[in-house]
Amino acid sequence: MLKRKSQAEPDSLPAAERETISADICVIGAGSGGLSVAAAAAAFGRKVVLIERHKMGGDCLNYGCVPSKALLAAGKRAYAMRTASKFGIAGVDPEIDPRAVHDHVESVIAAIAPNDSVERFQGLGVQVILAAARFIDKSTVVAGEYKIKARRFVIATGSTPFVPPIPGLENVPYFTNETIFGNQERLHHLIIIGGGPIGLELAQAHHRLGVRVTVLEAAKALAKDDPELTKVVIDKLTAEGIAINENTKVERVEGGLGRVSVHVSVDGRTHVVEGTHLLVAAGRKPTTADLGLEAARIRYDKRGIKVNSGLKTSNGRVFAIGDVAGGLQFTHVANYHAGIVIRRALFRLPARVDNALVPWVTFTDPELAHVGLSETEAAKKHGKVNVLRWPYHENDRAQAERETEGHIKVVTASNGRILGATIVGAQAGELIGMWSLAISQKMKIKAMTDWISPYPTLSEINKRAAYRYYATAPSSPLVRKVIGFLAKFG
């Protein structure tokens, strides 16, 4: 069990002794956003240099989205075995092998890794350099044995776990998302500092795999989401046996391997939480160190590199995308940014970021998905709004699957334009896609009633919520008069 390693020092080889490469686009960082830019630019015949100092695929493949969802999938199978009695099947307590679970996670990563490999990108015509990159002036980067001059640069270095300055933490072994998936031991009591999406996903995954879990959150768990719907998630995790402590300040940490003591303060009173292992999931920070941003005249602060709506930095040659640019930290945002950069850098099109189009999902069970404006945001921006809801328990497929927890909440303007949607429940991450499309195309709610949903599917929840917009129509005196008038004609 290791702490996050410090970032690698830039290569100290003098610039004059390096081989010079000229390129159309130089991409720094081979995570999802950087890979998307490199592949697209190469496909259009541009000369591309891609620099990565660690692992191809970045955080998402190696330490984030992929391993976490693989671990959640394992936990879901274990939970299904325990709770099978509701389907008339005797439930059993599964025997869990931590090493075999680890191997499952690694095999999922290995299956996806070829898509992000050096070999694949070299085959696409991209020159890949595995080394740390550093700007030495506004138009030059050094990496390994090379000096790269390019017309455009794209910084896609992502983010790393934020480790808060908790007294004693430096002397206690702890996991972050960069180390937790390498674990092959049986964990007995995992204490998680942080109640955001990462913390709660890993809390539920580990608990379902037989680990006692305590979550310590300084404010509110899943604070960025609608509290009406987050309550459904929190209640479910609590009912499963996960201890979620909100408004809990961590004062200090002590202990060693197999024994951790976390001293916390709640409403001014202090007590100690004892566990065997510790996971720090207190957020993320942009990876900007050792990039030589000052030499390139690129402005940045602790929140990331400063960019305009077109993702251009204070250096006109340089774009920054994904987590390192601050803002929403999701893999699909990095890919969205990549598309904007390609349109701007290659085709000189006036593409701009619109965060209102960005959906996000917390992959707990039930899932929590959102896109667009929340009810509060919509009311502040548009005044009078309509709020439409529909519960999962009114859906026939949800009943058949015993997945009746949750509901959908849709917000529209007074003229029916769809402003936002939030879903808590089974497959919410899949169901939110339709609302993402609707918002991106500025659709009105009527459009969500004009399609035919196959029966029985969870997608009917989307349509039933849309119909709620017209729920008062049957009782409208005007509508009744019109129908009565038309009835006179046979």
Q: Where are the beta strands (DSSP E) in 29-122?
A: 48-52
| Each residue's pLDDT expressed in tens, for the chain with a length of 490 residues | 333 333 344 456 776 788 999 999 999 999 999 999 999 999 999 999 999 999 999 999 999 999 999 999 999 999 999 999 999 999 999 999 999 999 999 999 999 999 999 999 999 999 999 999 999 999 999 999 999 999 999 999 999 999 999 999 999 999 999 999 999 999 999 999 999 999 999 999 999 999 999 999 999 999 999 999 999 999 999 999 999 999 999 999 999 989 999 999 999 899 999 999 999 999 999 999 999 999 999 999 999 999 999 999 999 999 999 999 998 999 999 999 999 999 999 999 999 999 999 999 999 999 999 999 999 999 999 999 999 999 999 999 999 999 999 999 999 999 999 999 999 999 999 999 999 999 999 999 999 999 999 999 999 999 999 999 987 655 556 655 665 665 667 5
Q: Kindly report the backbone phi and psi dihedral angles of residue 15, in degrees, each rounded to the nearest multiple of 5, phi listed first.
A: -60, -35
CA distances from 286 to 164, 435, 489 (A): 14, 30, 69
Nearest to 418 by CA among 470, 342, 469: 469
Per-residue confidence (pLDDT) for residue 1, from 0 to 100: 32
Please classify residue 59 by burial: count the beta carbons closer than 10 Å to its beta carbon, then call 0-12 exposed, 13-18 middle and 19+ buried. buried
DSSP 350-389: -----GGG--EEE-SSSEEEEEE--HHHHHHHHSSEEEEE
What amino acid is encoded at 327 in this protein? G
Per-residue confidence (pLDDT) for residue 93, from 0 to 100: 96
Tokens of 112: 């996806």
* CATH number, span 169-283: 3.50.50.60
- Cα-Cα-Cα-Cα torsion 351, 142, 112, 198, nearest 10 degrees, comes to -70
Q: How far apart are CA 17 and CA 130, in angstroms?
A: 18
CB-CB contact of 38 with 164 (8 Å): no
What amino acid is encoded at 15 in this protein? A
3-class secondary-structure state, position 87: helix
DSSP 199-248: HHHHHHHHHHTT-EEEEE-SS-TTTTS-HHHHHHHHHHHHHHT-EEE-S-
Nearest to 415 by CA among 440, 446, 371: 446
Per-residue confidence (pLDDT) for residue 11, from 0 to 100: 57
Tokens of 184: 């092959």
CB-CB contact of 245 with 216 (8 Å): yes
Q: Do domains 17-161+285-355 and 169-283 have the same CATH topology?
A: yes
Please classify residue 454 by burial: count the beta carbons closer than 10 Å to its beta carbon, then call 0-12 exposed, 13-18 middle and 19+ buried. exposed
CB-CB contact of 187 with 257 (8 Å): no
Tally: H helices and E strands in the chain: 13, 23
User: 452: which DSSP letter?
Assistant: P
Per-residue confidence (pLDDT) for residue 10, from 0 to 100: 46
Q: How far apart are CA 268 and CA 275, in angstroms?
A: 22
Angle of helix 32-43 versus helix 331-347 axis, rounded to 10: 30
Q: Are strands 19-28 and 48-52 parallel, antiparallel or unpaired?
A: parallel
* CATH number, span 17-161+285-355: 3.50.50.60
CA distances from 108 to 1, 61, 105 (A): 21, 9, 5
Per-residue confidence (pLDDT) for residue 165, from 0 to 100: 96
Per-residue confidence (pLDDT) for residue 18, from 0 to 100: 86
Q: Architecture of domain 366-471 in CATH? A: 2-Layer Sandwich (3.30)
Per-residue confidence (pLDDT) for residue 137, from 0 to 100: 97
CB-CB contact of 177 with 198 (8 Å): yes
Q: Where are the domains of the chain?
A: 17-161+285-355, 169-283, 366-471
